[in-house]
Structure 1
């Protein structure tokens, strides 16, 4: 996308004359998002846009402070470990859902027991598969019991387990609940048309939780899939906040007097997954380790990061975010950019004449096309299809694509069980299906001793990278653009908290 082409277009339709909307005047904020959500159920809609909605509509039992990364009270005011398998939570008195019904232990028990069932359809099984049962001790006390010791329990409780109103969900059904959600969060849902929806500050929101009291009264979300259109709308004031701004556009947006733009570090990692298990193609070339190694040698990651990622994005060699617990970077086998070595490995594997594959991606066409070109240079012809995030990830999960340039934000959870443990656990996310690695991942997830657990993840990372199941690519740098006068702080966990934002 060429920003210079946007400016004449914007001027031609009067966009540069100044903002059309005035969020500061009406205490509202109009947000441009790229993904239409099929459901507002946070266990089903796991795209990053869906995670953002979850945080505003619903609350978890506890809250992780984005600045200190400490756990703070939310729906629970106290929590303690009873034994190696059990955590007890004292629930907050006087909390009501958006429909006025009272929150209590029944809601926690129903929500978590339902989604811990593999038949529930939760999209990230790693978030819930560790739960054996949830039980009420009394109306305002619950216990979560894990199947085995699970040291990352609080990470998941704070990051990916929203609590739903059991009576309402059971009366309307989960499908309708996903279209008309009710939570305890700082904002409540107001239906709109298919291209927009509104969240309104919940007047009954309790005080004393980590999220505070929202200062902005109304959040209007407009679904604008095309990046160039979102940028043009921001320039003209049709929206007042966007993200996923390409790195090369951020500096230029920041020169406009009524806007601010910045690049923010994130915990998200990009990777190239290959059909090593032969899900998409029983005769997949990627079943051969030599071919997977060749792909690792074929791609110049340093050049992609330097020219197309921007900010403080960096190359990674591991299948996890380096700062996560258990992400032992020194355990990784690394692959230098060496196209001649890639060609030799392909020839050794019987693919000296190359082969054709189906590839998809979603976040950044320029990066995906760069990978496509590097593959072509060693004889791998990749038919690239750019999709929306949900469709792209679904194609990978369902085993319908040979090679996938995707990314993963781990629900912003600082533990390798949310990254490595999510993609190499034998679930639908796992394109390798390596039984030895699956066993090690399961063992690491349930080992309490930190040193032993770290050693297990080190072994996991060593085997994943030695067998070249992925091409670990780079960290993702998020580009934000928003109206001048909006107090907004990007966080490394890639969770825009509009309930903490305000207007000057």
Structure 2
């Protein structure tokens, strides 16, 4: 049975009603609650029935779950500082913990931390949970937090969040269960930043990450990079759960093969299926689909420091040649919203709602290509199934170009090795960016001059200064104003074309229960293994 809900039904409403029922709310109480939230009567009745069933569901312990992502690599890692693929995030979420995590509403919750407090948003005191142990039996202490945070500052580590972590100027243990973090400038987002996958806590002194020794819900039994992993339940986990005895994770790069594996029962979950494949699930009583809209996207990256991106007019031409509506409707089958060439989606409270997408204007694009001197030349575009829908998007661009005398050679390369061989390297190529909870994180990772993942090599001293200013702005109105200006700078000056924000669709067996949406992406923000159960 497909997971169909009324159009005005949201994950927040769902959880709101469930929580109210658990607190003993009557039907009259629930109707008042829903009316106050603007939920229609008909939708509200359906929502109450579903929530009542959800509350009645009791998690089942036991079982082995098999799940497949869409991309993997021989560079797969259990080192959270170096994680870059969804497969890395899934494994790291299972075997490690963070100081904080984000719930389905984007609210910060404590995990390994008991509290994180600051009077000025510059000096932070982190109180840690007691009684937590690593898989090898070592007690968790402040030394592990200090070591884990400092790794991101060491250039030799190659942390993916080095540019974010560099704001931490001092990280010290006050006692065994207290850490003090001092920032270069005030940043009220620190508790949210610490919920990122890369800030998982590893044991003090760890150099060998092949075993994945963490404090998490699962212990790694088998890890074969680019092939598969098998993790088993941690019997000494400090939280309730996990419910599963074990889970296996690997990649099935072909979209239809991933869907068919769910339909046939070979796997319980197929992550990130294409919109057109969702129809294969309709009418099937033994499967369902989970839809998460949290701001992930596939983007076309044009490097500003290489030709053709270095040619004046080329990037502007590309932005007007992208038929965003066609991509949203035909390529993504409506499972997306049109993007405006900057990474902060409408799901984020800082989204610049007045920044309109570049219009599809082939004649203007033609004029820009002529200005660059490239009209009639052949320009390679590297695409791969590793970047969601990028091959189809490239084909749309190729067809539009052919109608104005602009030639694009779509070079479809294998998924295996795409992220290490082509992403960030090829002059024109696609990326696939997972959701991030704050503009500061997105800008620091992708657009600051020293960003590890600066996909188009966009560099602006003014932008860098604005990033620091917004980070320390405790006045929300000022912060919003700065972020809006920064989004406009990216849309107009960076070489990243973001045609649409994707709705992530995961296909699941009906036996999989407990999966919830999460602002960090599909598969419950990649942390599904700890929270789901199998209901035979």
Query: Contact 2:324–2:338 (CA<8 Å) still a contact in 1?
Result: yes
d(CA) in 2 for partners of 1:408 and 1:213? 30
1:57 to 70, 95, 105: 95
- For the structure 1 residues 260 and 62, does the alpha-carbon distance in structure 2 shift closer, same or farther, using more than 3 Å as the test? same
Q: Which stretch of the first structure deviates more once superposed, 364-373 or 152-161?
A: 364-373
Report the Cα distance in structure 2 between the residues aligned to 1:418 and 1:60, rounded to whole angstroms. Answer: 16
Q: Which residue of 2 aligns with 1:360?
A: 383
Q: Give the equivalent residue in structure 2 for 1:5.
A: none
1:490 CA drift (Å): 4.4
Question: 3-state SS of the aligned residue for 1:119?
Answer: coil
* 1:229 corresponds to: 257
Q: C-alpha deviations, 1:324-362, integer Å up to 9, x for none?
A: 3533232x3641101111101211232333342342342
Which residue pairs with 1:388 in the alignment? 415
The alpha carbon displacement at 1:492 in A equals 4.3
- Does residue 1:201 correspond to 2:226, yes or no? no
Q: Which moved more, 1:141-150 or 1:24-33?
A: 24-33
Matched residue, 1:6: none
Counterpart of 1:86?
Answer: 123
Aligned CA distance change for structure 1 residues 39 and 86 (closer, same or farther; 3 Å):
same
Determine helix, strand or coil for the equivalent of 1:381.
strand
User: 1:14 matched to which residue of 2?
Assistant: none
Q: Deviations over 1:440-495 (max 9, x none)?
A: 33433343333222222222222222335322211112222121221143414221
Relative to structure 1, the CA distance from residue 146 to residue 304 in structure 2 (aligned partners, 3 Å threshold; closer, same or farther) is same
Q: Confirm whether residue 444 of structure 1 aligns to residue 480 of structure 2.
A: no
**Aligned residue in 2 for 1:16:** none
1:329 aligns with 2:353: yes
- Cα distance in 2, alignment partners of residues 393 and 479 from structure 1: 25
Q: Does the 8 Å CA contact 1:421/1:445 hold for their aligned counterparts?
A: no
Q: Tell me if the contact between 1:359 and 1:383 (Cα under 8 Å) persists in the aligned partners.
A: yes
Contiguous gaps of at least 5 residues in structure 1: 1-23, 279-283
Asked whether the equivalents of residues 268 and 407 of structure 1 are also in contact (C-alpha less than 8 Å), the reply is: yes
Q: 1:225 to 1:350 in 2, by over 3 A?
A: closer
Per-residue deviation, 1:263: 3.5
The residue number in structure 1 matching 2:428 is: 403
1:33 correspondence with 2:64: no
Aligned position for 2:107: 70
Partner Cα distance (2:418, 2:375) in 1? 33
Q: Counterpart of 2:219?
A: 188
Q: SS at 1:293's partner residue? A: helix
- Alignment of 1:455 with 2:481, yes or no, is yes
Spell out, residue by residue over 1:278-299, the C-alpha distance to the aligned partner (whole angstroms, 9 max, x if none): 2xxxxx1322442111101111
Q: CA RMSD in A?
A: 2.4
What do the CA deviations read for 1:41-69 (whole angstroms, capped 9, x no partner)?
A: 11112212211222111111122222x33
Secondary structure of residue in 2 paired with 1:396: coil
263-272 or 441-450, larger mean C-alpha shift: 441-450
After superposition, give the CA deviation of every residue in 1:255-295 in whole Å (9 maximum; x if it has no partner).
333222343323212322211122xxxxx132244211110
Query: Residues 87 and 250 of structure 2 are in contact (CA less than 8 Å); yes or no, is this contact kept in structure 1?
Result: no
Task: Answer whether contact 2:61 2:245 (CA < 8 A) is retained.
Answer: no
Pairing 1:88-487 to 2, within 5 Å after superposition: 88-160=125-197, 161-167=199-205, 169=206, 173=207, 176-177=208-209, 179-192=210-223, 195-207=227-239, 212-278=240-306, 284-320=307-343, 321-330=345-354, 332=355, 334-361=357-384, 362-364=387-389, 365-378=391-404, 379-388=406-415, 391-392=418-419, 395-397=422-424, 400-410=425-435, 412-413=436-437, 415-426=438-449, 427-430=451-454, 431=456, 432-467=458-493, 469-487=495-513
Give the 3-state SS of the residue equivalent to 2:325 in structure 1: helix
1:138 to partner: Cα distance:
0.6
Q: What do the CA deviations read for 1:174-222 (whole angstroms, capped 9, x no partner)?
A: xx31x21111111111115563221112110113xxxx42111111123
Task: Provide the residue aligned with 2:31 in structure 1.
Answer: none
Q: By how many angstroms is 1:83 displaced?
A: 3.2
TM-score calculated relative to the size of structure 1: 0.85
**In structure 1, what is the Cα distance between the partners aligned to 2:88 and 2:347?**
24
Task: Specify the alignment match of 1:281 in structure 2.
Answer: none
How has the CA–CA distance of structure 1 residues 105 and 164 changed in structure 2, closer, same or farther, with 3 Å as cutoff? Answer: same
Change (3 A) 1:192 1:345: closer
Cα gap change, 1:124 to 1:371, in 2 (>3 Å): farther
Which stretches in structure 2 are left out of the alignment for 5+ residues?
Answer: 1-59
TM-score, normalization by structure 2? 0.80
How many angstroms does 1:308 deviate by? 1.8
Q: 1:498 aligned to 2:523?
A: no
Report how far residue 26 of structure 1 moved.
5.8
Q: CA deviation at 1:385?
A: 2.8
Distance 2:357 2:503 in 1: 22
Conserved? CA contact 2:299–2:430, under 8 Å: yes
Q: Does the residue aligned with 2:368 lie in a helix, a strand or coil?
A: helix
Conservation of the 8 A alpha-carbon contact between 1:126 and 1:417: no
